[in-house]
Structure 1
Amino acid sequence: MAKDRSSGYLSMLFLLEFVLAVFFLATDLLTFYIMFELSLVPIFFIIGLWGGKKRVHAAFKIFLYTLFGSVGFLISILYLFMELGTLEISSLMYLVEETIPVAAQKLIWIALFLAFAVKIPMFPFHTWLPDAHVQAPTEGSVILAGVLIKLGAYGMLKVLLPILPSLSREFSTLALSLSAIAVIYTSLVALAQTDMKKLIAYSSIAHMGIVTAGLFAFNIEGYKGAVFQMVSHGLVSSGLFFCIGSIYNRSGTRQIADHSGIMNFAPKLGFAFVLFSLAAIGLPGTAGFVGEFLALAGLFRSTEVFAILCTTGVVLGACYMLYLCKRIIWGSPTGNIFQDIELHEAIPIFTLTILIMILGLYPNLLLNFLR
């Protein structure tokens, strides 16, 4: 049984890696769409077969949300192919605005935006993510936060904004409003969470709100900040989920109230958790700072009102992450006491800490590729 479970689990992970590789290399809209949708299959089985008690509900929720959100995407692809005879993204960048009627362009923009917004997820399409994270196994949460929710933002960057730039500017107020609401609302919701994993899930929605705000700032700082934030959030959130997974494997609970003083009996785990938390709130010297700073700087150049709103969300983010650290890492051990992380856990965790510090201290290693 364990062998079958292990082989099936690894098969889904390898399938997901293949799908993601093809997705990021796709140059035509049809391949892009197929991989965009196919990425649902492995994560559906990873959560549905190897998740928590409510895994089936969470798996179907993510599947149906994303599937229905992408119906318009498929219709738009069929329409573009019938009208233009090509689905090469490089060609669509020049043909769509010149050839397609404005009314049809607006419908296509809405369809693409909806598909990507559900995947990110943006407010108000975000409710599937906390459930998915809570029910997913640790590896599933790492992949979900590290890569899968970036597919929507990548889709906006590669498809939506280049193909329909004029309409993207016209609808930028809508996108920025949803981004600002996501940043503030989910940060407030995170403050009320009692489950560590659910708190980080809501923080992921807030961080992705910074990404979409940077994209719709329409300047180089915003674009660079959005991409850097995607990379840094992938590293930071993966690290946090690894740490929470290690805690859960030892104590059998993710409740914040059941843990205290981890630094006293598991210093390596405690140190890593603190570093990931500081990176999540954007401490200078970590990768989390660079992406947030650039995205917000670009947003300030574009619109001060939305920049101030998103900055408020960043402050709230510091509140819930510092509260989480203070509650479970510091103080006297009054809850579950367990052994520190072992070598097989320390390798991925400290690899992520090194990458976060390197990108924080030498951001040009990534920024030079974004010119």
Structure 2
Amino acid sequence: MMMVMTAWLSTCITAAFTPKKYLWSAATLHSFLATLFSLAWFYYHNFSFSDDFFTIDNISGPLIMLTCWLFPLTMLASQSKLNLEPVNRQRMYIANGIFLQLTTLLAFSVSDMMLFFIFFEASLIPTLIVITRWGIQGRRLEAGMYLTFYTMSGAIPLIICLLKLYVFQNILLPSIMMFMPNSVITITFPGLFWATYNMAFLVKMPLYCLHLWLPKAHVEAPIAGSMVLAGTLLKLGGYGMIRMSAFLPDSTTNETMFFMMVAIFGILSTSFMCLRQTDLKSLIAMSSISHMNLVVAAILVHTPWSYSGAMVIMIAHGLTSSAMFCLANMSYERTNTRAMIILRGMILILPLAWSWWIVVALYNIAMPPLINFTGEFLIMTSLFNWSHFMFLLVMLNLIFTTAYTLYVLWAIQRGPVPQHIKSLQPINTRENIIMFLHILPVILIMFFPHLIMFS
């Protein structure tokens, strides 16, 4: 595993010493090589690597693949705007992205839960720098404060619980704790106990009512920040909840019913709120909240099918939402606005972008036989077995998701063309490569599901 980390650290040398003329091309090429090397190393070990510090298994393996795949795409997507900045700032931006990549990979791969907590919280630092330094709006400092206070507020109970658990068990390794004879903790209030352990992860996902930081962060962040937030950082919350379940006693859904109700309400309300958004990035951020609340509901059901569905949804959403933010950035770079009423009529000016929008829209509404549909099918089946009424409520989300996806397509593609945007630069090769590399993994996983669902 240290070979993989060294491969990613070596990209810092490229960022520091490459001449300005070749900086972005060299950094992007190096990140692609690091990605290919990392994926080859993981497949060589069949995603079952384990030593004193690292553990790669069926839970962390797919998320590590997603993290490695998205980083070079963020490098491709960031070039057009950052090329205008001084070269030292460009180098700092790439180095900050590498630091964020390393903290995320370490959070997904470390075996000790205390180390996981450290890297889980360390990812806040480069994310905050990306938003507050390279944000594109005037309220980026406010977005950074929201992100910081929400994240740190959720981290306080988690660190206290981990310290208490270490005193109780003398170890924080999930693989060992499952076989310890005294691994069951006697508790009086299981619902409150579960919430205390998982509050940091519920904030990161985020659970509805804890989500106010996410739309602000997405709106203010540059394209790379939005891609990483939606693609990998939100998945740290789901990964943490699944990992933490090894430490906690088996809680019935009745004991966590309050959080299940909040998650289901969040699924429906955020999907419905997407129908009244006027900002394109805010709409995509709201849709991410809806999908992540579906993952929370699946984890609360606590069955093998629901856990499998949650993992598939996290992988599919990481690719789909990142692609949607890239498409939104294509329009923003040409019009300097995210208001959908101004972006109407784009099908006449950028017909190729319309094709990408159609494909990504099909992914977002979980059209069969895509992996998005597979994940939702597994979760819906688990919900149906748990409660028919809750299943019918969540089924309404399929209607709302289809409605706001069609609303986006109709609002920004159809209609008369505004007078001031009749002449725009066409979609270039770099942007087509970004979209193709977002869609390719979904197609591969659809035909070869063992790429992420291996034994």
**Structure 1 and Structure 2 fold alike (TM over 0.5):** yes
Q: Distance in 2 between matches of 1:140 and 1:210?
A: 23
Q: What SS does the aligned partner of 2:246 have?
A: helix
1:111 corresponds to which letter in structure 2?
Answer: T
In 1, Cα distance between equivalents of 2:312 and 2:116: 22
Which residue of 82, 87, 97 corresponds with 2:167?
A: 82
Whole-angstrom distance in 2 between the partners of 1:228 and 1:366: 11
Q: Structure 1 residue aligned with 2:240, among 151, 155, 158?
A: 155
The residue that corresponds to 1:198 in the other structure is 282
Which residue is equivalent to 1:245? Answer: 329
Contact kept in structure 2, 1:265 and 1:339, CA below 8 Å: no
State the superposition RMSD in angstroms.
1.9
Aligned partner (choices 74, 99, 112) of residue 197 of structure 2: 112
Q: Which amino acid aligns with 2:417?
A: P
Q: CA deviation at 1:280?
A: 0.6
- Residue 261 of structure 1 aligns with which residue? 345
Q: Does structure 1 residue 346 correspond to structure 2 residue 432? A: yes
Contact 1:228 1:366 in 2 (8 A): no
- Of stretches 249-258 and 5-14 in structure 1, the one that deviates more from structure 2 is 5-14
Distance in 2 separating the partners of 1:185 and 1:99: 37
1:205 alignment partner AA: I
Given the alignment, which residue of 343, 347, 358 partners 1:274?
A: 358
Residue 222 in structure 1 maps to residue 306 in structure 2: yes
* Residues 111 and 173 in structure 2, CA contact (< 8 A), matched pair in contact too: yes
2:176 aligned partner: 91
Q: Structure 2 unaligned runs (5+)?
A: 1-84
State the SS of the aligned residue for 1:101.
coil
* Cross-structure match for 2:217: 132
The answer on 1:330 being equivalent to 2:409 is: no
Matched, 1:307 2:391: yes
* Identity value in percent: 31
TM-score by length of 2: 0.77
Range 93-102 or range 45-54, more displaced: 93-102
Q: What are the Cα deviations for residues 175-222 of structure 1, in whole angstroms up to 9, with x where unaligned? A: 321210110111121111000000010000001111112222222221
Q: 1:98, 1:24 → 2: CA distance?
A: 23
DSSP-derived class of the 1:256 partner: coil
Aligned 8 A contact 1:66 1:118 in 2: yes
Structure 1 residue 43, shift from structure 2 partner: 0.3
State the AA in 1 paired with 2:226: S
In the alignment, is the contact (CA less than 8 A) between 2:184 and 2:248 conserved in 1? no
Cα distance per residue 1:30-84 (max 9 Å; x no partner)? 1010011001011000001011211110011111101111100000111111222
Q: Taking structure 1 as the reference length, what is the TM-score of the superposition?
A: 0.94
Partner of 2:104: 20
Whether the aligned pair in 2 keeps the contact of 1:262 and 1:270 (CA below 8 Å) is yes
Name whichever structure is richer in helix by fraction.
Answer: 1
Match of 2:132 in 1: 48
Partner of 2:146: 61
**Residues 191, 255 of structure 2: 8 Å contact kept:** no
Aligned 8 A contact 2:184 2:249 in 1 = no
List runs of 5+ in structure 1 lacking aligned partners.
none
C-alpha contact 1:47 1:136 (8 A) present in aligned 2? yes
CA distance in 1, matches of 2:226, 2:315: 16
Letter in 2 for 1:166: D
Out of 440, 444, 447, which is 1:362 matched to? 447
TM-superposed deviation, 1:243:
0.6
Alpha-carbon displacement from aligned partner over 1:210-251 (angstroms, at most 9, x marks no partner): 111222222222111110000000000000000101110000
Cα offsets for 1:89-117 (capped at 9, x unmatched):
22333559745331487654222221111
- The superposition leaves residues 238-289 of structure 1 with CA deviations (integer Å, 9 ceiling, x where unpaired) of 0000010111000000000001222222122111112112211111133322
* Secondary structure of 1:19's aligned partner: helix
